[in-house]
Amino acid sequence: MIDISHLAKKFAVESPKKLSEQEKKDPRLKGRFFHSVKDVSFRCEKGEVVGLLGPNGAGKTTTLRILSTALKPEQGEVHINGINVLKDPVLARKKIGFLSSSTGLYGRLSGRENIAYFGQLHGLSKARIDEKIAEMADLLDMHSFLDRRAENFSSGMKQKVSIARAVIHDPELVILDEPTTGLDIMATATVMSFIERLKAQGTPVIFSTHHLDEVQALCDRVVVINLGETVFNGTTAEFADLSGGHMHQSFLHTLNGTKEEHSNVVNL
Ligand SMILES: Nc1ncnc2c1ncn2[C@@H]1O[C@H](COP(=O)(O)OP(=O)(O)OP(=O)(O)O)[C@@H](O)[C@H]1O
């Protein structure tokens, strides 16, 4: 189980000229700081899949990077099965499998070598690494390219290897930042089945996405972040019920509403 409460993270703006027109008008820009995440709270229990939604720039990646220990927040707490992630990041990292939207593979290594390298970093034996790679090659349909050098992989191949690499150590919690972005229909279906399997094993999964059909198919809970704040935190059924079952309408509704309006389902 992961419990995230009242996260806040700001970045110093080095040059205001580098900000986009949208960021210049964003209420989160205050003087020399951009407050990307202002107040984000939610939980993910054992065996639950939580879908993290929000418009571009809402603060999803920043939130997920805090959960994965890649960023330190100014405020807030994160606990995974009793471990304080911010106070004990080394131990927390062993418990988390994190797929970043930006990390690359080592192009001169094969897919298999890329995955095995992460297994070694986690201290797994060669036998265990081989066993895990064989299992994930089946689950993620990677046999046809696993032994090729990663430099010429397609987006789907790269993403599958990156997912396998993120979970080689059987983490207690899996965090995936936009795992299906840029993937074709078949690769998306494979990644979704993989998430379903994690759920069936009892592993909590948090993933960010812009695809509401994925949320409807996979998620137990929905969290919507807008302008750095949690504006919805409830079950997928509660989310759908906001607009009589129309997920897109529900999403727009949460963006247009306020925290108070959704206080029946926002659990901050
Ligand atoms: N290191 C940084 N320095 C300055 N600003 C940053 C930094 N990282 C993120 N931001 C800003 O914080 C805001 C939130 O970014 P974030 O990547 O968390 O959004 P997101 O919800 O993941 O968006 P998307 O859906 O487009 O991926 C954006 O305006 C972004 O430019």
ipTM of the modeled complex: 0.96
Query: In which band, very low, low, confident or very high, does the pLDDT at 19 lie, cut at 50, 70 and 90?
Result: confident
- For residue 58, report the distance from its CA to the centre of ligand 1, in Å: 7
Average pLDDT score over residue span 153-180: 95
Share the mean pLDDT of the chain: 92
59 lines ligand 1 (CB under 6 A): yes
- The C-alpha atoms of residue 113 and residue 95 are separated, in whole angstroms, by 22
13 within domain boundaries: yes
More confident residue, 262 or 117: 117
pLDDT recorded at residue 259: 44
35 within domain boundaries: yes
Work out which ligand 1 atom sits closest to the CA atom of 58: 21
- The C-alpha atoms of residue 228 and residue 234 are separated, in whole angstroms, by 17
Taking 3-state DSSP, the helix, strand and coil percentages for the chain, each rounded to the nearest 5, stand at 40, 25, 35
pLDDT recorded at residue 82: 87
241 within domain boundaries: yes
262 within domain boundaries: no
pLDDT recorded at residue 17: 81
Domain count, the chain: 1
Task: Identify the CA nearest to 96 among candidates 113, 111, 114, 78.
Answer: 78
- The C-alpha atoms of residue 192 and residue 171 are separated, in whole angstroms, by 18
Cβ within 8 Å of residue 245, ≥6 positions away: none
268 within domain boundaries: no
Tokens encoding 105: 């593979």
Q: ∠ at Cα 156 (50, 49), nearest 5°? A: 10
What's the pTM value of the predicted model, to 2 decimals? 0.92
- For residue 36, report the distance from its CA to the centre of ligand 1, in Å: 6
Ligand 1 atom 27 nearest Cα: 56
List beta partners, residue 83.
Answer: 80
pLDDT above 70 coverage of the chain, percent: 96
Q: Which residues of 52-61 are buried (b: 16+ CB within 10 A; e: fewer)?
A: bbbeebbbbb
Contact 214, 52 (CB under 8 A): no
Work out which ligand 1 atom sits closest to the CA atom of 59: 18
265 within domain boundaries: no
36 lines ligand 1 (CB under 6 A): yes
- For residue 20, report the distance from its CA to the centre of ligand 1, in Å: 11
pLDDT recorded at residue 21: 86
Range(s) of the domain holding residue 193: 2-256
Q: Are strands 75-80 and 83-84 parallel, antiparallel or unpaired?
A: antiparallel
- The C-alpha atoms of residue 240 and residue 244 are separated, in whole angstroms, by 6
- For residue 264, report the distance from its CA to the centre of ligand 1, in Å: 29
pLDDT above 90 coverage of the chain, percent: 85
254 lines ligand 1 (CB under 6 A): no
pLDDT recorded at residue 115: 98
209 lines ligand 1 (CB under 6 A): no
Cα 148 to Cα 118, 124, 161, 255, distances in angstroms: 17, 23, 12, 44
266 within domain boundaries: no
243 within domain boundaries: yes
Query: In which band, very low, low, confident or very high, does the pLDDT at 257 lie, cut at 50, 70 and 90?
Result: confident
Contact 114, 37 (CB under 8 A): no
Cα 163 to Cα 29, 77, 174, 203, distances in angstroms: 34, 26, 10, 15
Query: In which band, very low, low, confident or very high, does the pLDDT at 101 lie, cut at 50, 70 and 90?
Result: confident
CATH number at residue 119: 3.40.50.300
Tokens encoding 19: 């900000």
Ligand 1 atom 30 nearest Cα: 57
61 lines ligand 1 (CB under 6 A): yes
